[in-house]
Amino acid sequence: MIDKHFIDDLSNRISALLPGNVGQIRQDIEANIRTLLQNQLGRLNLVTREEFDVQTALLQRTREKLDQLEQQLQALEQQKQ
C-alpha cells in the first residue's frame, strides 16, 4: 500500500509546476492529481520499503537454511558411500 504522505508530497510537487496564475482551479487540479496518483499507484501493487526489507531478510534466512540443508545432505550422501 502506498503511503498517503508520499502521494500528498508527489501531488504537491506536481502542483508546484502549475503556473501561479491558474487561480481558483488550482485546488481542483491538485485534488484531481491526488486522486489520479492514488488510483494509478494503487494499481501497480507496490510495496513499502519496510515490506520489501522484511521480505529480503526472510529470503536471506531461507537461502541460509537451504545452504545448510544442502551441506547436511551432502554429508549424509558421503557417509552412505
Indicate if the alpha-carbon torsion angle 32, 35, 39, 45 is positive or negative. positive
Predicted model pTM: 0.50
For 54-78, write each residue's pLDDT tens digit: 999 999 999 999 999 999 999 999 9
For 14-60, write each residue's pLDDT tens digit: 877 777 776 677 778 888 888 888 888 778 877 888 999 999 999 99
- Sequence-separated (6 or more) residues with CB below 8 Å from residue 14: 33
Amino acid at 39: N
